[in-house]
Structure 1
Amino acid sequence: MAPTSPPDVVVVGAGIVGIAAACHLVEDGRRVLLIDREEPARGASFGNAGGFAFSDVMPLASPGIMRKAPKWLLDPLGPLAIPPSYLPRIAPWLLRFWRASWPDRVRASMVAQAAMMRLAREAMAALVGRAGAGAMVHSDGALELYESEAELRAALPGWEARAKEGIVFEHLRGDAIGALQPGLAPIFPVATFVPGWQTVEDPHRFALALLDYAQRLGATVRRARVHAVTPREGGAAIVLEGGETVEANHAVIAAGAWSRPLAAGTGDRIPLETERGYNTTLPPGAFDLRRQLTFPGHGFVVTPIGGGVRVGGAVELGGLTRPPDFRRSATMLAKAQRFLPGLRAEGGVQWMGFRPSLPDSLPAIGPSRASPRIIHAFGHGHLGLTQSAATGRIVAALVAGRRPPLDIAPFSPQRF
């Protein structure tokens, strides 16, 4: 429903990042209109793994991933896949990704990500409290499982880097692993437990709970396709498909994987790519899953969701238009059954969603080149849920002309 008065801020995108931005903006007293091509939280906010991954400060582009990538790419259904016909289009992004894996750039990205995560933890806890959504958040920690001591040794530099940022974890062996998650196949001699990891009961319902909070404070939602966002004197014009224009004092581009052409219209050529993520959600009773489990050698996770189990992850770099390849979901589910022998696979629902990914694993947050009244807030990759409240707080500060709560230079949309 459209607002009765012109909005102060139009947020393009009603996923978790746009919703969190709306929450902070309406708390500042702004009249906010959210516009999305779909119903709210129906994109990546619908089917993600539901984790607050505050300990995930290592960029995806890292020496460890670069060592694994050639082997993974040989398997079209493995943890990383690129359809051959898509290679020419994605080649420039892959070059940037390779450059982002150089040690000095990895360190810079990690420092920036760690600062964002500190803000994200505090901002999310505060927003959850104000929205009355605390019962939807579980603090059970997460287990990262390794099939050999050698696999753990290869991961140790990443854990040592996390330790320098104050992230708490513990390497476990033997019975200590089974005590945290009974029913594992006896092929994991070592694991790492991250006690500070949190999950939400269901990421879609969680996003809608935050949206309900924003709407109680006056935010409104409209379903429409946005064709362009352009500067106007003293504000911004949001041009909808069909020609209608909505004017506002500010606009926020938080359209996830669909943000690239909107940003280009503001003069910012941002190398946004689409990671197509797959999962299968199993009904209650599928397995007695105590906490999120990560299988780094296979690129997927198993998460408790809505009383059931969600098996998902992996990366397919294939754009927005290719049809889903649900063999990828089936492959991960088959592996999960091997790793969790008691897992019941009946009644599973498959899903594919689009993660907005930038080569250095950092989102684009900040004013556009065309106007400080048009603000970018997208490109969070796997971390949209985790960093949504922090992004919302930054966006609200930029709209108000306040100093952001952290140095946003590393997240500049113009860094590319």
Structure 2
Amino acid sequence: MGKTRSAEKFDVAIIGGGIIGIATAFRLAEAGLQVTLIERGAPANAASRGNAGAFAFPSILPLASPGILFKAPKWLFDPLGPLSIPPAQFPSVLPWLLRFFRASMPDRIEASTAAQAALNRLSETETANLTREAGLDHLVRHDGALELYESEASWRASLKSWERCEKAGIEVEHVEGARLAELQPGLSSRLVKGVFLPQWKTVSDPRDYALALLEIARVRGVQLIEGATVSRLTNGTEGVAVTLEDGRTLKAGHAVLAAGPWSNSLTALLGDKLPVTPERGYNTTLPPGSFDLKRQVIFPAHGFVVTPLATGIRVGGASELAGFDAPVNYKRARYMLDKAAGFLPGLKREGGTEWMGSRPSMPDSLPVIGRASSSPRILYAFGHGHLGLTQSAATARLITDLILERKTPIDISPFRPDRF
């Protein structure tokens, strides 16, 4: 456990030691502020540990979309489908689901896509700045990603989405035949079309990347408090009192809530009932050498990706809307592994490690970035869903600008906490 300085007043206390909190701590420390990072467990040990490791800058289309309205009824009640809800969880998830369907209406899609595109453009710039300044460029791969289709019809059905991406300035290359085989040898003959995204990047391993950034942040003066749960945030005339469950209280000029799906327990106490829900993802990480994977490959019809990491080949994805106490269903991880073996015939499936973690998911696929309604000194930075790693550097920049009262480089009103 890191040493605390509870008698001192920090400039900023960050609640949440995932990649969002870590990146924000790094950026604030670089700005000369005294920062403490408070994590309920071990840093980078939840979604920041087991995600797919992608800087998915081209991923600007929200999960909530007109097409999902036709797919969701079938998916939701399939326990192994790309998006599912265990029956016992349905009553608690229903309010979120109704907002999700509302966000899927055509009048909402253009606005949410534009907001995501702006945030991801900023993310691409800020990630390059952050990795360079932190000396972490060697942990980033620039191989792009390959989205794969089993039929001409399914590829054609995706073209409108790709046209929207191209209008937003994203590089898109439609491939087949020899070019497809060049980008990824050893694919099943069932895969007849692909879309190559050269702007897509991956990290050597998402947890290693997050911990390396944390180490640099600590060298810059960030104080880490591990194994500490925040029970209350109280706004005062001189700052924010951060009360821990063990009774300690820290003082800070500002507090940043970046606790992912655990954030809503504190936002409710602050008077902001925000619809962030845990969205579980599953994966299996196979040993290095299990397949000669050149870059991340994506199977959109099946809701999973396969990523080459320094620590192995990670097969994972899917979405399960379920609370923290719901039973874990590792059949989902095995089902994705079975499918991956069908698409990658040479895949060695032995020796894998299964994992499950919860992402913080918002109904409109946009994160919450902004000030609490009860205090301008308390800021929110959570709800990034599948794009936490992707948007971490941009979120860190925006939160830093808000705290330092600088003009933000993009309009952040689409991410405001009161939009629901």
> Which residue in 1 is equivalent to 2:130?
127
Kept in 2, the 8 Å contact 1:72–1:81? The answer is: yes
Q: Percent identical across equivalent pairs?
A: 55
Match of 2:94 among 87, 91, 103: 91
Matches within 5 A, 1:10-409: 10-223=13-226, 224-409=228-413
Deviation at 1:203, TM superposition (A): 0.3
1:110-163 deviation per Cα after TM superposition (whole angstroms, max 9, x unaligned): 000010011000000000000000000000011100011111121111111101
Q: Distance in 1 between matches of 2:96 and 2:329?
A: 22
Kept in 2, the 8 Å contact 1:287–1:308? The answer is: no
* Paired AA for residue 202 in structure 1: D
1:363-401 deviation per Cα after TM superposition (whole angstroms, max 9, x unaligned): 000010010000000000000000000000111111111
Kept in 1, the 8 Å contact 2:123–2:394? The answer is: yes
With 168-177 and 357-366 compared, the bigger mean Cα shift is at 168-177
Q: Work out the number of aligned pairs and report it.
A: 416
Q: Distance in 1 between matches of 2:27 and 2:54?
A: 21
Q: Any idea what SS the aligned residue of 2:20 has?
A: helix
TM-score by length of 1: 0.98
Q: Any idea what SS the aligned residue of 1:373 has?
A: strand
1:302-358 deviation per Cα after TM superposition (whole angstroms, max 9, x unaligned): 000115200000000011111311111000001111110110011100000010000
Q: Distance in 2 between matches of 1:177 and 1:66?
A: 31
Q: Any idea what SS the aligned residue of 2:81 has?
A: coil
Q: Any idea what SS the aligned residue of 1:249 has?
A: strand
Q: Distance in 1 between matches of 2:174 and 2:37?
A: 44
Q: Distance in 2 between matches of 1:3 and 1:87?
A: 41
Q: Distance in 1 between matches of 2:101 and 2:204?
A: 36
> Which residue in 2 is equivalent to 1:2?
3
Deviation at 1:56, TM superposition (A): 0.4
Q: Distance in 1 between matches of 2:272 and 2:352?
A: 41
Q: Any idea what SS the aligned residue of 1:372 has?
A: strand
Q: Distance in 2 between matches of 1:323 and 1:228?
A: 29
1:72-94 deviation per Cα after TM superposition (whole angstroms, max 9, x unaligned): 23421121110111111111111
Q: Which runs of 5+ in 1 are unaligned?
A: none
* Paired AA for residue 162 in structure 1: C
> Which residue in 2 is equivalent to 1:411?
415
Q: Distance in 1 between matches of 2:3 and 2:419?
A: 35
* Paired AA for residue 250 in structure 1: H
Q: Any idea what SS the aligned residue of 2:188 has?
A: coil
Deviation at 1:66, TM superposition (A): 2.2
Q: Distance in 2 between matches of 1:272 and 1:69?
A: 19
With 121-130 and 318-327 compared, the bigger mean Cα shift is at 318-327
Kept in 2, the 8 Å contact 1:226–1:241? The answer is: yes
Q: Distance in 2 between matches of 1:307 and 1:271?
A: 34
Q: Distance in 2 between matches of 1:2 and 1:360?
A: 39
* Paired AA for residue 366 in structure 1: G
Q: Distance in 1 between matches of 2:112 and 2:218?
A: 35
Q: Distance in 1 between matches of 2:311 and 2:79?
A: 32
Q: Distance in 2 between matches of 1:66 and 1:145?
A: 22
Kept in 1, the 8 Å contact 2:9–2:253? The answer is: no
Kept in 2, the 8 Å contact 1:230–1:265? The answer is: no
Kept in 1, the 8 Å contact 2:172–2:198? The answer is: yes
Q: Distance in 1 between matches of 2:236 and 2:259?
A: 20
Q: Distance in 1 between matches of 2:343 and 2:77?
A: 22
TM-score by length of 2: 0.98
Deviation at 1:245, TM superposition (A): 1.4
* Paired AA for residue 52 in structure 1: F
Q: Distance in 2 between matches of 1:241 and 1:98?
A: 37
> Considering only aligned residues, what root-mean-square deviation do their CA atoms show, in Å?
1.0
Q: Any idea what SS the aligned residue of 1:91 has?
A: helix
Kept in 1, the 8 Å contact 2:77–2:86? The answer is: no
